[in-house]
Amino acid sequence: AQSVAQPEDQVNVAEGNPLTVKCTYSVSGNPYLFWYVQYPNRGLQFLLKYITGDNLVKGSYGFEAEFNKSQTSFHLKKPSALVSDSALYFCAVRDLNTGFQKLVFGTGTRLLVSP
Amino acid sequence: EAGVAQSPRYKIIEKRQSVAFWCNPISGHATLYWYQQILGQGPKLLIQFQNNGVVDDSQLPKDRFSAERLKGVDSTLKIQPAKLEDSAVYLCASRHISRGIEQYFGPGTRLTVT
């Protein structure tokens, strides 16, 4: 079964510092990977995706993610964190078993950016 | 374009009562999903529609949950009777068949069962 793991429940970073939110995946075949962000009392917002091609994927709000096949990782990064980036971040993988674009989500990582 | 709309935003019911949630996807999105997000967990897919047909309901507790999308646009998710463990946020998402594989989510309905 396809799955993703987010090993950190929470990440703390000071504003202006670089941030990394970790995600590892377990899939059969080539992975389709996603990052979503969830602000309080709001639905999930799409940030970026990896399907194929360049291992460094750029997304919304200055975020990027690096696909690493050898380490089966897809870590989310941003060079300089903002207080407004504080939110819940979810990594997801497309489940290939059903063939109907089903997503399997990780448990989420809470990012707290301090002023 | 308008996003995915959901109502109500919040609902509090007692166990054994019934409840219904409504979702209006982005215009032109043929694929619609209902997810359950329990506090501290990632969203879990309950059911997926392609137009008005169900393509995946393998994780839907069919003894108490039902969903429909009669005209291939709006959808309703119903719980009857509700249990305490159904307390969660119910998220609706939609996707355009030929414009990428990312899903777009609504704000969710927070259900509390007491």
CA–CA gap between residue B9 and residue A32 (Å, rounded): 31
Pairwise CB contact (< 8 Å): A32 & B43: no
**Minimal Cβ distance to A34: which of B44, B50, B102:** B102
For A66, A94, A98, B31, B48, the CA distances from B96, given in Å and listed in that order, are: 26, 16, 18, 6, 13
Pairwise CB contact (< 8 Å): B101 & A94: yes
Beta-carbon contacts of A107 under 8 Å, excluding residues fewer than 6 positions away, are A6, A9, B40, B41, B42
pLDDT digits (tens, 9 = 90+) for B43-74: 999 999 999 899 999 999 999 999 999 888 99
- Contact predicate A94/A32, CB 8 Å: yes
pLDDT digits (tens, 9 = 90+) for A12-22: 999 999 999 99
Give SS3 for B86.
helix
Pairwise CB contact (< 8 Å): A94 & B48: no
Q: What is the pLDDT of residue A97?
A: 65
Query: How many Cα atoms occupy the beta-carbon half-sphere of B58 within 13 Å?
Result: 6
Percent of chain A with pLDDT over 70: 95
To probe the interface with A, which of B9, B90, B101 has the most A CB atoms within 10 Å? B101
Distance from CA of B70 to the nearest CA of A (A): 20
**Minimal Cβ distance to B106: which of A34, A43, A51:** A43
DSSP string covering A48-108: EEE-SS-SEEE-GGG-EEEEETTTTEEEEEESS--GGG-EEEEEEEEETTTSS-EEEE---
CA–CA gap between residue A49 and residue A58 (Å, rounded): 9
Give SS3 for A110.
strand
pLDDT band of A29, cuts 50, 70, 90: confident
Question: Residue B1 above 70 pLDDT?
Answer: no
Nearest-by-CA chain B residue for A102? B45
Helix (H) / strand (E) element for B79: namely: strand B75-79
Question: Residue A75 above 90 pLDDT?
Answer: yes
Q: Read off the tokens for A11.
A: 């990440």
Pairwise CB contact (< 8 Å): A32 & B102: no
Percent of chain B with pLDDT over 90: 83
Q: What is the pLDDT of residue A79?
A: 97
Query: Average pLDDT for residues B63-91, to the nearest whole number?
Result: 95
**Minimal Cβ distance to B31: which of A42, A101, A105:** A101
For A15, A30, A97, the CA distances from B77, given in Å and listed in that order, are: 41, 33, 24
Which residues of B are less than 8 Å from A10 in CB distance? none
Which residues of B are less than 8 Å from A36 in CB distance? 105
